[in-house]
Structure 1
């Protein structure tokens, strides 16, 4: 090929050019230059009873001087400046930055920080740190599919958490909320994790960032319950009463697993004698208490007569 013939003919020239470039780079990188680098602000001797409330610069530009080689190496190191909070006042602290507080890790010789490019002071607003335990309010919306029902309430673990931050912010927070989730046409149990929303954009810290949620979805069923005894409460000691009829029937509706465990003893039906007017001999409706997570309908009969006999 023509390129191979050209290279063999002029390879000595290529070698001389490469040597010249190497010498030029060596000379240039040994020369002294100035370059600006970002320096991360790191706090020290912070008072654990106080917290910074204002948004301050987390990184400041600093002008460094050094050889070209060392400045190139500086790009791959960590550069920090310490801010000492030991002399803080109650509400405000002004940090006067010092070049001799700049640290380079790993260290590089012959690198000198020359000046702060923009400013050499940082202003901090301080406030007492407070803690509070608050409930988690879920924003999880579940709509069971046709023929299914939600059994019980949505479960969150943990149901409450601890928040910490400036006292003025903490006293405003009564609860924290989750991210929004929606489940439509649910036909089986639902479980997962959801994020806690950040109140006050980072000024308040939550003890956990995620919570677990779960909910029980069951197939919807119904069941007819008959011959449930009707009781009478608040009867005076000198009065003997009976209720006519003495039993009631109703239909209960709920998750099939829940319904399978319900017996007549789990359904409380009663009439309050104090509501009975003997002169009017009025018929009274029964009060019905059923277990959680089910509903009832088709109550028969709806009213009952009270027969009173004095002892």
Structure 2
């Protein structure tokens, strides 16, 4: 009996065994989204009975390498040579059923999108953000399925609280990945910086108004009230400001009595607000200056006796 079992274990035979399908994608532009279908196939092995029994337990996979995929469902052929039989085995893969499987792919893409900072609480009531928040990097790369990447317009940070900040600040903030599962970001966090300053006001009197060519303004100067960060207003140079009348608001024909026009103040730092008093001025056409005729007078000889006497000397 023992002799029969030994002979049977060494006898060459063939047997169908179920094995899993492994997929290796070497196409960097596509991702497997469904499959394989079916997940398991049967392989007909030939070899000693003892090794076939062991193979039924270990179930060596059949590996399909995909080097060139395209979007959608594709059918691939399975071959016995793709079965991963361990080295040293006296086993041969003879056949595969089913001989084809289906895989579904989607195209991959990547895009640079801007980072937007979410603010939960702004500065306190007596403080303000000077300028705007700065973020570094300003953009991140989003990679994944093209259908999902194409609808991502921006990536936001987790909300930050500015209510306790005073002066310049800088902090690392994580990006909010809500709704971005399955996508890859080039960085997980960004650096957000800015400056919180105390709100202040400053009055700048006697600012001249720049009139368009051929016009006069009444009054010729205004008073500016500027409001902004304390440090910004302290460094504000009145010579850097210009009070002008927007060219697009100057009528083609100015009425004889003039027309009221608004003012625009240029040269203000970011975040600074301004109010001019008065807010509008009267624009009139400059009067034409009279042309003065200048005549050249040629001296005439003196015919009087005194003149002749003086000439004879």
How many Å separate the matches in 2 of 1:179 and 1:41?
41
Change (3 A) 1:207 1:293: same
Alignment equivalent of 2:228, drawn from 242, 245, 254: 254
Q: Which residue of 2 aligns with 1:183?
A: 161
Q: Does 1:213 align with 2:196?
A: no
Q: Which residue of 1 aligns with 2:128?
A: 149
Q: Does 1:285 align with 2:262?
A: yes
**Partner SS for 1:253:** strand
Structure with higher strand content:
1
Unaligned runs of 5+ in 1: 1-39, 67-78, 111-120
Alignment equivalent of 2:84, drawn from 97, 101, 126: 101
How many Å separate the matches in 2 of 1:42 and 1:101?
10
Residue 48 of structure 1, CA deviation: 1.6
Alignment equivalent of 2:174, drawn from 184, 190, 194: 194
Residue 142 of structure 1, CA deviation: 4.0
**Partner SS for 1:257:** helix
Q: Which residue of 2 aligns with 1:136?
A: 115
Residue 221 of structure 1, CA deviation: 1.3
Q: Deviations over 1:213-261 (max 9, x none)?
A: 222211111111111111012x2xxx3x332322211211111121122
Q: Which residue of 2 aligns with 1:49?
A: 29
**Partner SS for 2:132:** strand
Q: Which residue of 1 aligns with 2:293?
A: none
Change (3 A) 1:215 1:230: same
Alignment equivalent of 1:158, drawn from 103, 121, 137: 137
Change (3 A) 1:160 1:272: closer
How many Å separate the matches in 2 of 1:309 and 1:294?
37
Q: Deviations over 1:100-137 (max 9, x none)?
A: 5388xxx9x99xxxxxxxxxx98642122222222223
Alpha-carbon contact 1:141-1:181 (below 8 Å) kept? yes
Q: How does 1:41-120 map to 2 (within 5 A)?
A: 44=24, 46-54=26-34, 84-86=65-67, 90-92=71-73, 101=84
Change (3 A) 1:255 1:122: farther
**Partner SS for 1:144:** coil
**Partner SS for 1:146:** coil
Alpha-carbon contact 2:118-2:158 (below 8 Å) kept? yes
Unaligned runs of 5+ in 2: 1-19, 41-52, 55-59, 90-99, 290-313
Q: Which residue of 1 aligns with 2:280?
A: 303
How many Å separate the matches in 1 of 2:191 and 2:222?
43
TM-score w.r.t. length of structure 2: 0.61
> Would you say how many aligned residue pairs link Structure 1 and Structure 2?
240
**Partner SS for 1:127:** strand
**Partner SS for 2:232:** helix
How many Å separate the matches in 2 of 1:93 and 1:54?
11
Alpha-carbon contact 2:211-2:217 (below 8 Å) kept? yes
Residue 282 of structure 1, CA deviation: 3.0
Q: C-alpha root-mean-square deviation of aligned residues, in Å?
A: 4.1
Residue 287 of structure 1, CA deviation: 2.4
Q: Which residue of 2 aligns with 1:225?
A: 204
Change (3 A) 1:256 1:200: closer
Q: Deviations over 1:14-35 (max 9, x none)?
A: xxxxxxxxxxxxxxxxxxxxxx
Residue 42 of structure 1, CA deviation: 7.1
**Partner SS for 1:125:** strand
Alpha-carbon contact 2:26-2:68 (below 8 Å) kept? no
